[in-house]
A and B are shown apart, each in its own frame.
Chain A
Amino acid sequence: MNRTQKEAMCSLIFFTVTLVFVLLILAARLIFKKDIVYITYFMLATIAITNVLGLLYVLRKQSPREVITDERDKLIKLKALFASFISVMILLAAMLVTLRIAVGMGGSIGVWLLTLILFVISIAAAIVYSAAVLILYLFGKSNA
């Protein structure tokens, strides 16, 4: 496994955990009407520290001759970026259609909900990017 794969694996785990965590907090707020501020901060801090430690481990050079990135990595990253962009467009369209049906043309939504939607879409885009990198490494057939 080279560095690009390790980075993608690290990001995939981190963003998936973050997405699940955000959705759990949202569910707790909506269902139980409870604001779990301290647990939220603690969990976010734990995720952030774990991610920093994971990245430090991944980014350390294993040997002085180790190649960090090459032309195939760049090609794979470009394709993954395209997949991520497409996923953002699809998710945005789906969210807009859902909001249009839910609140109607003249309806309004809270700023927190809009922020949450953009946050979730950003995390989803990062997950798609990381997953695409790993999939392309495993199964991708590519040309320079």
Chain B
Amino acid sequence: MTQQDLADKVGVTRQTIIAIEQGKYSPSLPLALKIAKTFGVTIEQVFELNEG
């Protein structure tokens, strides 16, 4: 799956997916849930809490 495919499926721009991958943007909970659902995994398997 390409970044564009994922972006289209969750309803954001490709730039937002890139920013999430690079850690420049923390998505909202609904978006994080949509991404996890697209991959068919739980939210913890896609995202981790980075404290500090």
Contact = CB atoms under 8 A, between A and B. Distances in A.
B38 interface: no
Interface residues of A, number: 17
A2 B15 contact: yes
Interface residues of B, number: 15
B16 A70 contact: yes
Nearest to B26: A143
A5 B14 CA distance: 13
B24 A142 contact: yes
B16 to A, nearest CB: 5
Contact of B8 (A67, A143, A144): A67
A144 B28 contact: yes
B31 interface: yes
A70 B24 contact: no
A14 interface: no
Among B13, B24, B28, find the residue whose CB has the most chain A CB atoms closer than 10 A. Answer: B13
Interface in A1-26: 1-3, 5
A142 B24 CA distance: 6
21 contacts: A2-B15, A3-B13, A65-B8, A67-B12, A67-B13, A70-B13, A70-B16, A71-B16, A71-B27, A71-B28, A72-B15, A72-B16, A72-B19, A73-B13, A137-B15, A140-B24, A142-B25, A142-B26, A143-B26, A144-B25, A144-B26
